Amino acid sequence: MSRDEIREGLSDILEEVAGVNPDDVADNKSFTDDLDVDSLAMVEVVVAAEEKFGVKIPDDEVANLKTVGDAVSYIEKG
């Protein structure tokens, strides 16, 4: 899956569970500071992303996923 496809899938999840406008989703955007995704919303995003992309995102890894780009890279590595 390409980075663009992953970003698009992530964008759908962010819109569904956190009401994030897809136009605002870009690699350099911070989940908490730019997209208003707080810690509880992030839990929902992670669970949905695991299902959608068939990856495991351990809890101690979630803290490192500060931006959309971080998440795309992590999922890309699979």
Among 32, 33, 43, 54, binds other proteins (CB under 8 A): 43
Indicate whether 40 belongs to the interface with other proteins (CB under 8 A): yes
Indicate whether 18 belongs to the interface with other proteins (CB under 8 A): yes
**Binding span for other proteins by CB under 8 A among 3-11, 26-34, 41-49, 60-68:** 41-49
Q: Is 4 a catalytic residue?
A: no
CA 30 centroid distance within chain:
10
Indicate whether 47 belongs to the interface with other proteins (CB under 8 A): yes
Q: Any idea which residues carry the catalytic annotation? A: 38
